[in-house]
Amino acid sequence: MNIYLFVSGILTILLSIAHSIIGEVLILIPMQKSAGIPAVRARIHTTTRTLRFTWHITSVLGIGIAFLLFHYAKFVALTPEHIYVLTVLSATFFASFVVAVIGSRARHASWGEFLSYQY
């Protein structure tokens, strides 16, 4: 078993759960209560629903990635196909790191998590 991939899978699940819970409590609910949300098609409700489901889709995708990591953690030796998939995941996490650092000016803690996924 590849312990690094297994731990990465656990961290990804924890990050996904924290993303949903913390985002809901600290961002989505307060934002819904504020009057500064732009209306889509003259409805603020449409905007808040869209923001909510797009927020949580990120967490669902993270859990899916975690299960890929668990799958690859089972292998003792990785084939070139396995390495390709893991390289794509690693590059995706690295791109997320870059976006998080630039977008938040390194103030959002996600950049550290994304950087830790470099295999």
Residue-averaged pLDDT of the chain: 85
Pick the closest to residue 12 from 56, 58, 65 (CA basis): 65
Give the percent of the chain with pLDDT over 90: 44
Dump pLDDT digits (tens) for 71-106. 999 998 999 999 999 999 989 889 988 998 898 888
Pick the closest to residue 54 from 94, 100, 20 (CA basis): 20
Provide the pLDDT for residue 104. Answer: 83
Provide the pLDDT for residue 44. Answer: 65
Provide the pLDDT for residue 32. Answer: 77
Provide the pLDDT for residue 39. Answer: 63
Token code pair at residue 18: 């924290």
Pick the closest to residue 72 from 18, 119, 17 (CA basis): 119
Provide the pLDDT for residue 60. Answer: 94
The model's confidence at residue 119, banded by pLDDT at 50, 70 and 90, is low
Token code pair at residue 15: 């990050």
- pTM, two decimals, is 0.79
